[in-house]
Structure 1
Amino acid sequence: MSSLAKQISVPIFSGQNYDYWAIKMKTYFQSQKLWELVEEGVTLPEDSSTSSSAEKGKLENKKAKDSEALYYIQTAVADHIFPRISVATSAKEAWSILQKEYQGSAKVRIIKLQTLRRDFENMKMKDSETIDEYYTKVRELANQLKAYGEDIPEKRVVEKLLISVTEKYDPIVTTIEETKDITTLTVTELVGSLEAYEKRRSRREENSLENAFSLNKYEISEF
């Protein structure tokens, strides 16, 4: 086990939020240079009698690495999940068992992906939401799409935010579209501009309310 592996604890899957757990585990395996084994498995030669010593050594090394990856998967599931993969003899087999059970078959994943795409396209900001709350929802849905194999580029998230915020943001959206290059605008820059506008608008509304209250109080005292 590498020194990096000793420092990083694997996330534990308890049966909930499989997609997020799978993303974290994939990153972990990539950091240990084991993801290829988990994804593709170890190919055994039909006849190893003609293999050279070097080839046999490489194969044994791959088997050892595969056992290491399998151990990480076994360690990363809760005790009540472990029986499902206890019979798996390779990392790929264990990973596939969990994927099929908790993410579904290829057909189920396609249907889920289509649903997520539709939800992403139809998502609109509510009047009661702040920019931070709405962006969190958009980002979470984008992450779910990524977990099912569809990467959402930053440009698409920027465009989604611009066309789906409520009407009260129209002035800042128009300004951004007229003064910024949307193709290079980052999500961080956009959200920062929208939040700054939101705060200024909120302060103006508070001041107007205070002024109205003060005026009303003065009129009552005069009466």
Structure 2
Amino acid sequence: MSIFLRCEHIVKVYGERVVLPGVSLEPPQGGVTALLGASGCGKTTLLNILAGFVRPDSGEVTLRGRICSRPGPDRGVVFQDSALFPWLDARDNVALGLRAGGASRKRAADKAEEWLERVGLADCAERFPAALSGGQRQRVALARALALEPEVLLMDEPFAALDAMTREQMQILLASLQERLHMTVLLVTHDMAEACLLADVALVMGTGRGIVRGMSIRDARPRDMTDSSFAANLTGIRWLMSEAAAG
């Protein structure tokens, strides 16, 4: 069986600091992989290399055997900050990438409205980012990424800045969309409970050491935080994090 997405021996050095010492990764196709670890361990750098925003010093990223050295519509990205253009309304923010890809104005607008409806913002198409809540802005950002129908969705702590209730709503939305669309998702998070809720695979990175620990989470979604299996998975991730921190 051919490999869907692969990072092979990724090295990234800033000055004298080795951020990624030769990271290799093959996330499961159609699953959610969570990347955890202490601040500065290289999670975001690895995600940016996968997205094509940063070039590794050595190693390569391939998707279906194609080398990915630049950004492309096959990889959608959602940032912690929604990164919406403040002078565009929600519809036009979602449509922007579609227009850049050659879609007509009408086709882009229609598809943008379709995705805004999918993320629960059908009534917000003409609102500008300043008139949206933090959770609504992240929904627009998610719609913008998914409207391009990427093969991989890359998410860099997308819910970290949200309040607890909104974060839970966004986690439920992501889980629902992932199940329906069978998306391959890489999720950078500091939240161990979030990894337990969403991920099929949890990988822990150590500072300057790359991916040092990992575990599979086989429970069906949606997952219940009160279940004993959830508690067991959370304990497992905590142990992985402590082992990574201890070196």
Q: Fold conserved (TM > 0.5)? A: no
User: Higher relative contact order by CA 8 Å / sep ≥ 6: 1 or 2?
Assistant: 2
Output the TM-score relative to the length of structure 1. Answer: 0.23
TM-score, scaled to structure 2: 0.22
Higher helix share: 1
Higher strand proportion = 2
